[in-house]
Structure 1
Amino acid sequence: MEELFSQIEIDWSHVWQLLLNWYWLPLFVLYFGVISTILIENRNPTKTISWVMVIVFLPFVGLILYYLFGQKFRKVKRFQRINREQNRKLLVAWEESLSRMDEQLEIIHQRIGMLSRVFDYLKNEKLAFFSLNNRVELFINGEEKFPVLLKRLREAKKSIHMEYYIFEFDHIGKQVLAILEEKAKEGVKVRLILDSIGSPQVIKYLRKNKPSYPFEAFLPVTFTSLANSNYRNHRKIVVIDCQYGFVGGINISDRYINQPNQANYWRDTAMAVEGIAVNNLQIQFWNSWNQTEGEPFSLTEEYLNFNVAHIPERAAVSFASSDPGSLGPFNMEAILLAINDAKERIQLCTPYFIPSEQLSTALEIAASSGIKVELMLPAVSDSYIVQHATFSFLKPLLQRGIHVYLYNKGFIHAKTVCIDGKLAFVGTVNLDIRSFYINYEITSVVSDEQYCKRLEQQFEMDKSASDLVTLFSWAHRKKWKKGVDSLCRLLAPLL
């Protein structure tokens, strides 16, 4: 027996020696396979090189990062298939609305000229129904949005559909949950979608307490689906009775409600819409619901409303949306189209600025052609890496005459663009690669004189709480800060 154990020990030592000598072979095959997959996907060259560098120079860790955040082949194909199926279902309603949309597009062409091409683009890509029969309301911060939202929820008669990235179990969150439970018991059809990464506490609470209405966690992350963590539903949508809709950057959280003289001021923007445009938000919710395990529902007359008799032609409203399965970065393309058609001024506000080459080039060309371009960013971000990556993109903008403001009253989380005081974007879209290509995002596109005027006025107010960055001061920052900016920029395509 002792001789047998001795033989086994000798065998295991040989195996160990073999592994030490040939461990590189399976690793080589694994690395070769992963890098080949990245190349076959035909990504943006910059992103391809970034992932290859991460995998090569961060052994093992790079492979894990790629598994969690980089791979997309199978998942994106699934998203694209779902999009095609859902678009086919909407084709009949789309064809029936074409003549009305064309008539109203002609009216908006006369009002705002070339900027109306954004609405043409959204219609031609079949992204959203266009209409003039809408009322819109702009909300500055949660203290303006939440009282209106709670009122509309309490008045709901038929249906409530909500889709949020962050929904916290705090004071405002508990208020909303209580109303949803009450309305569901009254017979109102309530459905709730929460992002698995953004709202874990409320998802856990709802699973434990079994509400009277269906709710779904969007792309839940488990050990076998860790790659899901890279695809997040960043949208914030509410649709009530298919009459009232809400969208913007404000999540369900107390942090968005500012108290007098509080230290951590949170500056954000959202909007409400009433009219035909609400159908677009309903469709977006329906699209998201169909990508969960929730019981399907049909977009019948109960959930769509094209009756325009009670709302005169006023606000032109459409929506740009995109997700990992989109044929293109539609949010970015709509913004680029508006920037290219600007005549006087462009005001952009974003908490995260990791621009694509197309966006940087469009802004630089606009500024060089004499258009006043203003970009507002937080002076202090909630992400150290993203902030320093953002700072690495500013020097070329400053050199071309773009006015950059760093908001220092608190954290500015608003995602807005206003062009010539005639066309405004308010939604969930940050001006970064993740919002353009990876997340589920949506932004409203609005042309309404009073709405745009208030957005411009708010931008001017925010400028008074910001520092204007000069090219001289930026060029003379401490070298170590520039170094950190450059290091963080290497991760920009992956953020």
Structure 2
Amino acid sequence: MPDSNYLFMDLIPEFIKQGQLWVVLYIIVSIGVVITILMENRNPSKSLAYILVLLFLPVVGLIVYYFFGRDLRKEKIFKKKVFKETHIATEFARKYFTDSERELARMEKEIGDLISPYKLLLSQKQSLVHRNNSVTLLTNGEEKFPALFDALNQARHHIHLEYYIFTRDDIGNQLTEILIRKATEGVIVRVIIDDRGSNRIKDIPRRLKEAGIEVYQFMPVRFASLSQANYRNHRKIVVIDGKTGFVGGLNIDDRYINNGKHQLFWRDTHLKIEGSAVKELQFNFFKSLSFVTRKQYELESAYFPETLDYEDGATISVVASGPASPHPYNLEVLLSAINQAKKSIRIANPYFIPPAELLTALELAAACGIEVELIIPAHSDSYIVQHASFSYLKSLIKRGIKVYLYKKGFMHAKTVVIDGKLSFVGTVNMDIRSFYINFEIAAIVHQPAFAAQMEYQFSLDKADSSLISAREWVTRSRSKKFIDSVCRLLAPLL
């Protein structure tokens, strides 16, 4: 009778005998991933990009999808968050609903159809309309951090901070000392930091907690360098006593201060807001707090106090979006404003990989005779992102859009000014990740004087940039164009 072991071996395909079982496993896993991608019903171009990477870059494709592409846990992760946001939103609207519709009617007489972003946010119950706010433009860390530290030192009841990056350096240590001192004075201090963006400061959370400060890591990760890039909290919010707020592009890091210690000049924009619009920043902080603590919070009046009216102040709404949002509101409000522009659109952004609808809106605006200007970095902190951005410029320039490459350093500001009337300042990059995947926030500001400041700063940034000519861009070397095209192919994955 034949040995049963030999009979069993005869049933095993030869390639498995040769130690290639992993090929079978890879094929099975890849088929499962492809089915998952198709079932997610995401953007077709993005789905196709992931499938092509899986097919043509074995193993690497799976790794790329794991870190950047998975939506598999999204519904599970954020289902409770949506419920908590709904609960908080209902209470917020009930307690603090203002005469937003009357304010919209007044504004419409001044800015006409540019009112659309405010109408969109109000109708979708995403933000109230807050009039008569004081808004201060803070350029770079040299202006932001002194203003922030001064406001923190004046805190009497509470300090709320929410940041993507909190670094253990001079600025980070100064902030830590202020927070600890205020906590010892009896001020309530709460800090939320993204666990991937701030993964190297384990001692700072420990020091803060020892001082009685509430510290929460947003979506904790075990190994930051091997963790997913999706669903990160990219917001930068500070609220002090419910009366003063900060929002914009600057994290807590020394590199934002141009004091000669760092080789790269860092250009960024932040806002200090005083007035009723701070309630929106506070509201969004509590939504994040509810998510990280898994608790319901009563919105006590101490956190939403009466605020001063600033005569002839700014009208502000705040747009926040993330993977839990039913719609990509940061993209939608931007499109609604661009589509209503009559004279000019001025954009500064570090990561310009626009989705098709945004690209079309900008090109159509330029084709209709509207002056469209864009400033992006000449040198980015991401090789792939930079060249992916460059691949979009040919079509923009052909449509008459003026594109400037910022040469003084790294352009990290995320700003838009439309018709010299409406300004957007926040954390939002012009890419798929900011519009659809990460948690972002921006302030929409209507005030002629503030818009004039924004346009003046834009003119200064243009002076530190070089305008790209159509001939210059068309005559670039084939190798550069090829690199741009390859990086653009990867753009939906970034």
Q: Which residue of 2 aligns with 1:87?
A: 86
* Correspondences of 1:144-223 after superposition (within 5 Å): 144-207=143-206, 210-212=209-211, 213-222=213-222
Q: Which residue of 2 aligns with 1:358?
A: 357
Amino acid corresponding to residue 16 of structure 2 in structure 1: L
CA distance in 1, matches of 2:330, 2:79: 17
Q: Which residue of 2 aligns with 1:367?
A: 366
CA distance in 1, matches of 2:182, 2:204: 19
Q: Which residue of 1 aligns with 2:452?
A: 453
- Say yes or no: does 1:481 pair with 2:493: no
Q: Which residue of 2 aligns with 1:290?
A: 290
- Asked whether the 8 Å contact 2:66–2:228 carries over to 1, the reply is no
- Say yes or no: does 1:243 pair with 2:240: no
* Correspondences of 1:262-277 after superposition (within 5 Å): 263-277=263-277
CA distance in 1, matches of 2:250, 2:174: 16
CA distance in 2, matches of 1:415, 1:197: 21
- Asked whether the 8 Å contact 2:84–2:290 carries over to 1, the reply is no
Identity %: 46
CA distance in 1, matches of 2:17, 2:466: 58
- Say yes or no: does 1:131 pair with 2:105: no
Q: Which residue of 2 aligns with 1:64?
A: 63
Amino acid corresponding to residue 220 of structure 1 in structure 2: P
Amino acid corresponding to residue 250 of structure 1 in structure 2: L
CA distance in 1, matches of 2:28, 2:264: 51
The Cα RMSD (Å) is 2.5
- Structure 1 spans left out of the alignment, 5+ residues: 1-5
Q: 1:236-278, CA deviations, whole angstroms, 9 ceiling, x for partnerless residues?
A: 1000000000000011111111126974211110001111110
CA distance in 2, matches of 1:488, 1:431: 16
CA distance in 2, matches of 1:224, 1:205: 17
CA 201–128 in structure 1, closer or farther in 2 if over 3 Å, else same: same
Q: Give the 3-state SS of the residue equivalent to 1:73 in structure 2.
A: coil
Amino acid corresponding to residue 292 of structure 2 in structure 1: T
- Say yes or no: does 1:383 pair with 2:382: yes
Q: 1:135-178, CA deviations, whole angstroms, 9 ceiling, x for partnerless residues?
A: 10001111011111000000000000001111111111111000
Q: Which residue of 1 aligns with 2:279?
A: 279
CA 107–177 in structure 1, closer or farther in 2 if over 3 Å, else same: same
* Correspondences of 1:309-328 after superposition (within 5 Å): 310-312=309-311, 314-328=313-327
Q: Give the 3-state SS of the residue equivalent to 1:431 in structure 2.
A: coil
How far is the alpha carbon of 1:92 from its aligned partner?
3.9
TM-score (norm 1): 0.93
TM-score (norm 2): 0.93
CA distance in 2, matches of 1:12, 1:160: 69
CA 300–221 in structure 1, closer or farther in 2 if over 3 Å, else same: same
- Asked whether the 8 Å contact 1:203–1:217 carries over to 2, the reply is no
CA 297–186 in structure 1, closer or farther in 2 if over 3 Å, else same: farther
- Say yes or no: does 1:19 pair with 2:7: no
- Asked whether the 8 Å contact 1:215–1:294 carries over to 2, the reply is no
How far is the alpha carbon of 1:231 from its aligned partner?
1.7
How far is the alpha carbon of 1:108 from its aligned partner?
1.2
How far is the alpha carbon of 1:98 from its aligned partner?
4.7
CA 261–73 in structure 1, closer or farther in 2 if over 3 Å, else same: closer
- Asked whether the 8 Å contact 1:220–1:228 carries over to 2, the reply is no
Q: Give the 3-state SS of the residue equivalent to 2:341 in structure 1.
A: coil
- Asked whether the 8 Å contact 2:132–2:315 carries over to 1, the reply is yes
Q: Which residue of 1 aligns with 2:233?
A: 233
Aligned residue pairs: how many? Answer: 489
- Structure 2 spans left out of the alignment, 5+ residues: none
- Asked whether the 8 Å contact 1:71–1:227 carries over to 2, the reply is no
Amino acid corresponding to residue 254 of structure 1 in structure 2: D
Amino acid corresponding to residue 89 of structure 1 in structure 2: I
CA distance in 1, matches of 2:82, 2:30: 33
Q: Which residue of 1 aligns with 2:46?
A: 47
Q: Give the 3-state SS of the residue equivalent to 1:146 in structure 2.
A: helix
CA distance in 2, matches of 1:223, 1:12: 41
Q: Give the 3-state SS of the residue equivalent to 1:230 in structure 2.
A: coil
Q: Which residue of 2 aligns with 1:413?
A: 412
CA distance in 1, matches of 2:452, 2:199: 38
Q: Which residue of 2 aligns with 1:3?
A: none
Q: Give the 3-state SS of the residue equivalent to 1:417 in structure 2.
A: strand
CA distance in 1, matches of 2:266, 2:283: 30
My pick for the range that moved more, 359-368 or 15-24, is 15-24
Q: Give the 3-state SS of the residue equivalent to 1:326 in structure 2.
A: coil
